[in-house]
Amino acid sequence: MAHPQTIQIFLPDGDPQGIRIASITTRIVQLIEIPRLRLADFLAMSEAGHVGLYLLFGEDDETGHAKAYIGQTGNLGARLKQHHDGKDFWNRALVALSLTHSLTVTHAHYLEWLAISRAAQAARCKLENSTTGTRPHTPAAMEAECREIFETIDILLTTLGHPVFEALVKREEDNRRVGRPAATTPPPSDADFFLRNERADARGRYTEAGFIVLAGSWGRAQAVPSFVGTSPYRKRQAMIEAGDLAINEERLVFLRDVHFNSPSAASDMVSGRATNGWTEWKDATGKTLSDVTGRVVPTRSATVT
């Protein structure tokens, strides 16, 4: 259950785009964000010799999709140096360690397994790890400690803008926390919005992260001519190639929850044309997203079909 917390972010060199050290003031776990360009600075820090969990973040050059690699090590600096020499995709590393040197390699192995499992389940990004691995044997007391440590890491990662363990849409939250499989499709919610016509039947949610079109939604398979070749159209094709969307007869089917920065980008994808998402998406009573949120937006020209 969420509750108020105080998080401290320290900038060692005063640059908010440089190394950032985040911690919850009442806990011993610390998270350090390291731009690849500043790796040498981290290697000179005493924390580089710690046992810890690390995450590498970057993007796919072709699709722009987020990518990540998760690992653990007995020496953070040495392992990041290896990945600097051997992996191209990443541009930021985040390492989690103990201020009291209390993390052991056993802790790290369990945290690595848990982190990979949760990241794979959340599906926020493509994992570069070849497998989720086997759950390591860990004494019950240590497992409980690791799960508490993991919660802190999750909060700090999200605070720094990397919510890799947070699903786009919450599904059976209690089940997910204890490791049981979540439902494929979330239950209906008062926060759901719909885009329904003869060429679409899509459901989505407007969240802090943007607009999410839910798995199982479908829209127009063939885009209108004026939409072909645009940036949204190219994204559409890339998502089909990546397996996020599929063409099934005359429908464009969403195979997983898909995040968009704006409601209009989401309705464009569903409709295969330029749209105004603030008026296209409607709740169960027929109110537009614009009406529900109280946001007055200028009219966006839509392509005539």
pLDDT one-digit tens code per residue, 226-245: 999 888 888 888 889 888 89
pLDDT of 305: 47
- Give the residue-averaged pLDDT of 34-61: 94
pLDDT of 134: 85
pLDDT one-digit tens code per residue, 135-190: 999 999 999 999 999 999 999 999 999 999 988 876 544 333 334 344 455 555 65
pLDDT of 207: 84
225 has a pLDDT exceeding 60: yes
- Give the residue-averaged pLDDT of 195-223: 92
pLDDT of 143: 95
Q: Is 174 exposed, middle or buried (0-12, 13-18, 19+ CB in 10 A)?
A: exposed
Check if the beta carbon of residue 210 is closer than 8 Å to that of residue 193: no
18 has a pLDDT exceeding 70: yes
Separation CA 37–CA 75 (nearest Å): 20
- 3-state SS string for the chain: CCCCCCEEEECCCCCCCCCEEEEECCCCEEEEEEEHHHHHHHHCCHHHHCCEEEEEEEECCCCCCEEEEEEEECCHHHHHHHHHHHCCCEEEEEEEEECCCCCCHHHHHHHHHHHHHHHHHHCCCEECCCCCCCCCCCCHHHHHHHHHHHHHHHHHHHHCCCCCCCCCCCCCHHHHHCCCCCCCCCCCCCCEEEEEECCEEEEEEEECCEEEECCCCEEECCCCCCCCCCHHHHHHHHHHHHCCEEEECCEEEECCCEEECCHHHHHHHHHCCCCCHHHHCECCCCCEHHHHHCCCCCCCCCCCC
* Predicted confidence band of residue 199 (pLDDT cuts 50, 70, 90): very high
pLDDT of 48: 97
28 has a pLDDT exceeding 70: yes
54-68, 73-87, 234-248 — most confident range: 73-87
pLDDT of 172: 45
276 has a pLDDT exceeding 70: yes
289 has a pLDDT exceeding 80: yes
303 has a pLDDT exceeding 50: no
Q: Calculate the average pLDDT of the chain.
A: 87
